[in-house]
Amino acid sequence: MNEQKKWLTIKYSLNTILIILLYVLQTTPGFLLIFDVKPNLAVPTAICIAMREGEFVGGLYGAFAGVLCDLGSPNLFGLNAIIFLIAGTAAGLLVIYMLRPGVINFVFLTAGALLTCSLLDYLFHYAMWEYENVWMVLVYHLLPGVLYSAAVSPLCYFAANSIYKYFAVKLQR
């Protein structure tokens, strides 16, 4: 294994560990809980990786973050993984062709991905079943969850971006 491959392996392993750790934190009972709403930390990290590493790596990390979200979710396995695979790929492509990889764009992309997922989640798991007062799920849980996740997402950005920058220097040598 040459030097370049070694650093790449370490970088991707660190990104994977970061996503797992943030997922563990986001599912820890009571952690960052405000008014019964918790932020999603794994997906913003995957979006940041997608913005920095491109559509291919971004899609794979998006799918990985989605699988983790599906793991704790009481709903059908796979929906989050598929949505975030597409979101990660789209984020990577958008940064390559249209957007600058800054923190503002990152927050908007994160909010967009989480909002899309939340709306589909709402449609398939709540609205279609026509539970009474089902709008409350959207207004009191899903939308505040998206806003809360977007608000704390810069922390994920700085964590994932730091890994990217550190290894960019190593890989340029």
Partner 1 sequence: MGDFFKSIRFKILLAVLILLLFFMLRAAWTGGAPIISQTTGAIVTPLQKLSSSISYTVTGYFERFFHADDIAKENEQLQEQIRELQNQLVDYEQYKQENENLREFLGIKEENPDFELEPASVVARDPNDRFYSFTIDKGSLDGISPYDTVISADGLVGRVKEVGLNWSKVLTLLDPSMDIGAYVSRTRDIGVVTGDVALAQEGMCKLTYLPRESGAARGDLVVTTGGLFYPGGLIVGSISEVRTEKGEISLYAVVTPAADIRSVKQVMVIKSYLEQGVATGE
* Identity of the residue numbered 96: I
Q: Which residue has the tokens 């550190």?
A: 166
Structure-block tokens of residue 60: 């794979």
Q: Which one, 73 or 105, has the nearer CB to partner 1?
A: 73
Lay out the site mask for partner 1 across 10-39 (x = CB under 8 A, - = otherwise): ----------xx-xxxxxxxxx----xxxx
Least separation in angstroms between residue 162's CB and partner 1 is 22
Structure-block tokens of residue 62: 């998006």
Q: Which residue has the tokens 């089902």?
A: 134
Least separation in angstroms between residue 30's CB and partner 1 is 5
Give residue 5's Cα distance to chain centre: 26
Instruction: Give SS3 for 28.
Output: coil
Binding of partner 1 at residue 40 (CB under 8 A)?
A: yes
* E strands, 6-58, in order: none
Lay out the site mask for partner 1 across 98-137 (x = CB under 8 A, - = otherwise): -----------------------x----x--x-xxxx-xx
Nearest to 48 by CA among 97, 104, 2: 104
* Chain residues that interact with partner 1, rule: CB under 8 A: 20-21, 23-31, 36-40, 55-56, 59-60, 63, 66-82, 85-86, 89, 93, 96-97, 121, 126, 129, 131-134, 136-137, 140-141, 145, 149
